[in-house]
A and B are shown apart, each in its own frame.
Chain A
Amino acid sequence: EAQVTQNPRYLITVTGKKLTVTCSQNMNHEYMSWYRQDPGLGLRQIYYSMNVEVTDKGDVPEGYKVSRKEKRNFPLILESPSPNQTSLYFCASSPRLAGISKTQYFGPGTRLLVL
């Protein structure tokens, strides 16, 4: 089954404790992206990647890191989480998001609470 998986789905942590949210897709998609969703603000793009070792900042990259060492995986790293990073996070992938664009597939979401 074609899917985007995220882990963990729910996470409660404390300020400053490094964490990683994993994202994996099994569709051989080039484009992967992370978004955060906050009430009243819609979704905002954090980072995106067109291919292995090629990443770029979205609109809200501060406090986040990503890596794309393999095509299928795109982990989101919070080196020192703060309460303002409490949010619902979505990973997504698509065949590409440039030129001839296709449908983007979203993961189930990770709800993060930083105390």
Chain B
Amino acid sequence: DSGVTQTPKHLITATGQRVTLRCSPRSGDLSVYWYQQSLDQGLQFLIQYYNGEERAKGNILERFSAQQFPDLHSELNLSSLELGDSALYFCASSGQEDNSPLHFGNGTRLTVT
């Protein structure tokens, strides 16, 4: 168990809809990362937050947004969903030291129909 908790485990929704994925990092970790994993693309970095502030952006679509709250949990919001957004979405957290490894949750499987 990595200590990173993601909810829900599964989400099925229709095109055009909006969903929110939730992540609680490991106790003590200030950084939260979101990744998307699809069959053809592998794991792709979306965005990083550190102690409530956006730290880095990767290949995140404008339809997607995230935030990290004062209690350090994070939410990833996906809107105007398309069939191609169907994927596994992982959250990870890390410690404060440089090169601290990322510890991943078990993901949310999103299916857009």
| A in complex with B | no
